[in-house]
Structure 1
Amino acid sequence: MSPYFSKTLDRDTVFPRVWAGFAIALLIATWPLWFPTIAANEYPAIPLAPFVIKPAIAELPWLLDGISLWTFAAMGSTICGHTTSTRSRISWFCVVAGLLASFAVDQHRLQPWAYQLAIYAIMFATLNKRWLRRLIIPAAASVYIYSALGKFDFQFAHTVGQEFWNVAARPLGRVAETLDDSMRARFALLFPAAELAAGIGLLFRRTRRGAGILVMGMHASLIVLLGPWGLDHSLGVLVWNLALMFQTYWWMVRSVGDSVVRSSVDSSSDASTPLPMATAMVLALMLIAPIGERWGLWDHWLSWSLYSPHTSRVDMQVHASAIAKLDETTAGYFDADDDGDGWSSFAMSRWSLEQRLVPVYPQARYQLAMAIAMADRHHWDTDIRVRVESVSDRWTGRRVETMAVGIDAIGRLRRPFWLLGSK
């Protein structure tokens, strides 16, 4: 076996390339989000700093697609270059630049997998093998730990957790239907309990392999639960689960002796290289910031609040007189006026899934900005109202609701859009 070929089989070298491949697959699976001009949909881009970036987007609409093309090309370059080479590091820095610019021009692009890719890209660009191997595992484990903690919640136990349980219990026939609500909620909490145990297990060498096998089983189960044969979620969700399965196998399950790898890495010439300060700060932010999610200090998705319905949200409602003036396609996204008060809710989540192939960004800040963008586009004034719902209480599921009628009142609810975590 040639020396170069043996190096390409090193997990520190192969993983970034394969991860870039999965990222390209995710970009393709969610392409209307990244190439809106080509997709020609009417879904607005909501920048993080609208007063600075929005005018640029209006003048240069191709900027949204151009940044994505840059990121796409940079990830392709990482697959072709050697991970330890200067060329590859430059390519990963280009990926970081492209992703940060993408997030700035449209908050919707802060998909959980894209955020994780940005963190990993920084690691691939700045860390040697020793530091990458040491830090990739806690970075990966934090996703499962925070995701599980977010699901120990009244809303999950009585909504999404119930859906998971219903699909998982199908092979058992009507057994799930015979349980009372309290017992069904307890069974629903088995999902985050297993996820939390697996996430913690990944942190320790003795339990890492077993926890990794459990994590791979969890992702396989999610693919079954969320696939077209189950809850029929978007393709991007399934691809990301496959990527995380690969990650778990590569770093936690693959049959490579930890002591052998550690000795070979630690004895290398880069064993004494210090951890770059900027990278350490980014990783610290990733690992610590999710603690503030419930208080609105960090975004839900960036806190790995996945499949957890406790997130803040906005119900945008428009009067029937304004809906009657819309084109048939846009009007079709409004729900029926069941209570007969003349106001109908806009199905923002369905609009996002159909127009961009991804769920709507689960943050009241973003959805409020969406309502304002729609009002500006269609010149609504008193024809629009919103109900802003806070993060639900972990124990009771209750939310604090704020109503605003008219564009002026809605505008007063806005917080600076560039502050992540604004409720």
Structure 2
Amino acid sequence: MSRLPHFSFDSATSRLQVLGRIVPLFVLLLTCLTWPLWWGDRSFPLIPLLPGLGSCPLWIDRGLVLLLIPALLGISLVPEHSPIRNKLFLIAPSLILLLVILNQHRIQTWSYQYGLMLLLIGCRSPSNKSPVSSEGLSPERIILLFRFLIASIYIYSALSKLDMHFISGGGFFLSKSMLDLLGIDYRFWSETKLSYFTCLLPMFELLVGFGLLFRRTRTFALTGSLLLHLALLSILGPLGLNHSNGVLAWNACFIVQNLILFRFTRRSQPEVSTSSETDSVSMSTSVGGKKRFAAYSLFGLAILLPLLEPWGFCDHWLGWAVYTSRQERFLLLMEETDQQPFPEELLPHLSPPEPLTSARRLNLNSWSLQTCHVPVYPQTRFQWGLWLDLHRRYPQLKMQAILERPLDRLSTDRQTETFSSNEQIEALHAHFMLNSVPRFLPE
């Protein structure tokens, strides 16, 4: 019974200790649910994040995964303040980063978020005796950074949906599912009325994000966040849109994580550094401390990077632009020839041809969900790499691409550009800042 206060969340230290145990379990759970993505499968192209890695063999990926699993288990099971455990907080995210470099499809929102959280925990002070240390961050400060990080996810996610395309049609799939969940008959609603309701969804998410930043509104915002994720679980679950297990698990993990981070206790104690502690931290900053500098730099990058997403300098998922519809889209159309019929593995993901045409659209998202158990990575460079892999494997297959340009916030009509030859599609490669060429994996 004497151990119970250790998990009572009455202090930032106890909250951080629980998060330090449970976050690696989140990563382990989500890795298992999306296992083909991490283990590597020749049925779906592997596209490195950086150039020069096209000939890396598959056993490197699998070796890194086999190292990641015991690292995550070690963080959860090794005693607190063990030197080995402290190193594992840095080793596990490093392994995730290497796996991402080998295949950018692994840039999942959850792998990015939890990798950041593990790194920040790894930058904590080696001892909890003093709230301020020149060697790292105090538990109070790390919990504060976590709260800002989680709040920013809601804020950026909401802002990515506040555009005319989402409100006037692109987000109707979410609003209609929400109305079904509430038992409201919307069949006779006008599009204008449905648009008003759709607008409420990102506004509610935005209020949750800002509410989590302030102590007076945190309880209401926490309740709102729980309702939001429970609603998403119902909408995206087996009885709704039947989304991937990874997306559902990430929403469930958010519920647990938010309860640990934001729930108040009866014995209210200071959760962040007092003003004197803040002054001490500011004074000790001039002394140095590599851990503290690394933590603040990492946190600042994570908070500011999403600001660049609308201009294309940050990937959509790294900017928390999820369930949005104004991004650039790469559509791939295919026609079979006498020399090359449609590949059998792609047939379930080909839509029926449009009237008076024989071309069929390849649903890249469906293909990714079936083979990797995750949605397709939304960046055009990645989806261009999928085209290149198919072109290499099936050179006789006739393909064309349609590039739908991104929308500004007040527009609903997309500008499209059609590339009807392989040479035209290949020319798009010059516009990508990061690698888009898939790895070559011999059979």
Alignment of 1:224-263 (within 5 A): 224-255=234-265, 257=267, 259-262=269-272
For the pair 1:61 / 2:77, whether they are aligned, the reply is: no
1:149-172: CA deviation from partner (whole Å, max 9, x where unpaired)? 111122222345322222222266
Q: Give the C-alpha shift of residue 118 in structure 1.
A: 1.5
Q: 2:28 aligns with which of 21, 24, 32?
A: 24
Task: Pick closer, same or farther for the CA change 1:257–1:151 going to 2, 3 Å.
Answer: farther
User: How many residues get paired?
Assistant: 411
Following the alignment from structure 1 to structure 2, what is the Cα–Cα distance between the partners of residues 345 and 13?
49
Preserved contact between residue 324 and residue 331 of structure 1 (Cα < 8 Å): no
For the pair 1:408 / 2:416, whether they are aligned, the reply is: no
Following the alignment from structure 2 to structure 1, what is the Cα–Cα distance between the partners of residues 35 and 284?
39
Q: Which residue of 1 aligns with 2:414?
A: 399
Q: Give the C-alpha shift of residue 328 in structure 1.
A: 2.2
Following the alignment from structure 2 to structure 1, what is the Cα–Cα distance between the partners of residues 373 and 338?
27
For the pair 1:100 / 2:97, whether they are aligned, the reply is: yes
Unaligned runs of 5+ in 1: none
Q: Give the C-alpha shift of residue 418 in structure 1.
A: 5.7
Q: Give the C-alpha shift of residue 300 in structure 1.
A: 0.7
Q: Which residue of 2 aligns with 1:139?
A: 149
1:157-188: CA deviation from partner (whole Å, max 9, x where unpaired)? 23453222222222665621111001101101
Q: 1:302 aligns with which of 315, 318, 331?
A: 318
Following the alignment from structure 2 to structure 1, what is the Cα–Cα distance between the partners of residues 157 and 368?
23
Letter matched to residue 161 of structure 1: G
Letter matched to residue 192 of structure 1: P
Preserved contact between residue 48 and residue 103 of structure 1 (Cα < 8 Å): yes
Task: Choose 216-225 or 396-405, whichever is displaced more.
Answer: 396-405
The structure carrying a bigger helix percent of its residues is 1
Preserved contact between residue 300 and residue 363 of structure 1 (Cα < 8 Å): yes
Letter matched to residue 33 of structure 1: L
Alignment of 1:205-284 (within 5 A): 205-255=215-265, 257=267, 259-262=269-272, 274=285, 276-284=292-300
Q: Which residue of 1 aligns with 2:49?
A: 48
Task: Pick closer, same or farther for the CA change 1:256–1:378 going to 2, 3 Å.
Answer: farther
Preserved contact between residue 130 and residue 265 of structure 1 (Cα < 8 Å): no
Q: Which residue of 1 aligns with 2:179?
A: 169
Task: Choose 9-18 or 197-206, whichever is displaced more.
Answer: 9-18
Preserved contact between residue 32 and residue 355 of structure 1 (Cα < 8 Å): yes
1:287-307: CA deviation from partner (whole Å, max 9, x where unpaired)? 111112111111111111111
Q: Give the C-alpha shift of residue 253 in structure 1.
A: 1.8
1:257-301: CA deviation from partner (whole Å, max 9, x where unpaired)? 553444799879x96764722222221121111112111111111
Preserved contact between residue 388 and residue 401 of structure 1 (Cα < 8 Å): yes
Task: Choose 335-344 or 166-175, whichever is displaced more.
Answer: 166-175
Task: Pick closer, same or farther for the CA change 1:215–1:107 going to 2, 3 Å.
Answer: same
Return the TM-score normalized by structure 2: 0.86
Q: Which residue of 1 aligns with 2:439?
A: none
For the pair 1:34 / 2:44, whether they are aligned, the reply is: no
Task: Choose 257-266 or 291-300, whichever is displaced more.
Answer: 257-266
Following the alignment from structure 2 to structure 1, what is the Cα–Cα distance between the partners of residues 433 and 86?
29
For the pair 1:364 / 2:365, whether they are aligned, the reply is: no
Preserved contact between residue 372 and residue 407 of structure 1 (Cα < 8 Å): no
Alignment of 1:58-97 (within 5 A): 60-97=57-94
Q: Which residue of 1 aligns with 2:133?
A: none
Return the TM-score normalized by structure 1: 0.89
Q: Give the C-alpha shift of residue 87 in structure 1.
A: 1.8
Preserved contact between residue 44 and residue 370 of structure 1 (Cα < 8 Å): yes
Q: Which residue of 2 aligns with 1:183?
A: 193
Task: Pick closer, same or farther for the CA change 1:229–1:265 going to 2, 3 Å.
Answer: farther
Q: Which residue of 2 aligns with 1:318?
A: 334
1:92 counterpart SS class = helix
Larger relative contact order (C-alpha < 8 A, sep ≥ 6)? 2
Q: Which residue of 2 aligns with 1:353?
A: 369
1:177 counterpart SS class = coil
Following the alignment from structure 1 to structure 2, what is the Cα–Cα distance between the partners of residues 261 and 286?
22
Q: Give the C-alpha shift of residue 365 in structure 1.
A: 1.6
Preserved contact between residue 335 and residue 346 of structure 1 (Cα < 8 Å): yes
Letter matched to residue 96 of structure 1: P
